Amino acid sequence: MSRSGELARIIRERAGDRPPDYGLILGSGLGHLADMVDGATIPYADLDGFPAAGVSGHVPRLSVGWFEDRRVAVFGGRAHYYEHGRADAMRLPLEVLRDLGCDRLIVTNAAGSLRDDMPPGGLMLLDDHIAFAGTNPLIGEPSEDRFVPMTDAHDPQIRAALRSAAAAEGIDLPGGVYCWFSGPSFETPAEIRAARVLGADAVGMSTVPEIILGRFLGLRCAAVSVITNMGAGLSSEPIGHAHTKAMAPVGAALLERVLRRLMRD
Ligand code: HPA
């Protein structure tokens, strides 16, 4: 059996056979959203090959069970490219998600806004993204499947469902383009201006590799940013990881309501 197949078997033993309707990856400061799941929680340490705890604000555990009326698999932590230089660090967890029989993925992240009408504390739905970090998680993948079309990488149906869920909750969910910077240093003001010229609405250090891997694995994908700050140079507020973690819960409360509604309707 493949490594991911074996891990999926272990997870099914603990959490039951029913395939998740959605996989969810939680961003910085959003880890507590895993507490919403009524089911089994498995530390990544028990899942050989899953990323070790690397970045504060992430909880390295997989929660599989019920969230409102849906089955979900919630990845409390993610590995980032900037931790070790491997953009494919989330490949095994996403292969496991596929092997659990799940075909929908929602990725969340903390991001810096480039738009005055998207202030910190709010949300942005990714309509599309720019892989600006200069690498790709599928480099080295030998199969022909590596030539993944990215035209509808952000699934129109899941996005529409997220928009309806937000509207039903009275929560603003503007669409925008997310630009992936490698990190771990934050952007310079010049880089933020460049990102704006390129067509970006928000910047962050994650998500894009997971969307590429998700599409490669045949998952329908969508992503939501929690805006924690304005991009460098756009405001006088501080930028830093501590600030990201402090601000994330504000948007996370909105995100939780959107997701709860999505999982009910
Ligand atoms: N830049 C990159 N990543 C981020 C930011 C930012 O301004 N805020 C939260 N994550």
pLDDT digits (tens, 9 = 90+) for 6-35: 999 999 999 999 999 999 999 878 888 888
Q: Which of 28, 191, 192, 229 to mutate to test the pocket of ligand 1 (most atoms within 8 A of CB)?
A: 229
CA 205 to ligand 1 centroid distance, Å: 7
The protein residue whose alpha carbon is closest to atom 7 in ligand 1 is: 112
* Mean pLDDT computed over every residue of the chain: 95
- The pLDDT of residue 176 is 98
- In angstroms, the CA 136 to CA 13 distance is 34
- The pLDDT of residue 150 is 98
CA 208 to ligand 1 centroid distance, Å: 14
What are the start-end ranges of the E strands in the chain? 22-25, 38-43, 61-67, 70-75, 104-113, 123-130, 175-180, 202-204, 220-230
Q: Which of 124, 203, 225 to mutate to test the pocket of ligand 1 (most atoms within 8 A of CB)?
A: 203
Closest CA to 25 of 76, 72, 59: 76
**pLDDT of residue 246 exceeding 90:** no
Catalytic residue positions, numbered: 28, 58, 80, 82-83, 110, 205-206, 229, 241
Per residue in 84-116, pLDDT (tens digit) is: 999 999 999 999 999 999 999 999 999 999 999
CA 53 to ligand 1 centroid distance, Å: 20
- The pLDDT of residue 58 is 67
CA 240 to ligand 1 centroid distance, Å: 8
- The pLDDT of residue 27 is 87
**pLDDT of residue 229 exceeding 80:** yes
- The pLDDT of residue 183 is 96
**pLDDT of residue 67 exceeding 90:** yes
58 vs 135, residue with greater confidence: 135
**pLDDT of residue 238 exceeding 90:** no
The protein residue whose alpha carbon is closest to atom 10 in ligand 1 is: 111
pTM: 0.96
Pocket of ligand 1, beta carbon within 6 A: 110-112, 181, 186-187, 203-205, 228-229, 231, 239, 244
List domains and CATH numbers for the chain.
3-264 (3.40.50.1580)
| Rounded average pLDDT over 258-263 | 96
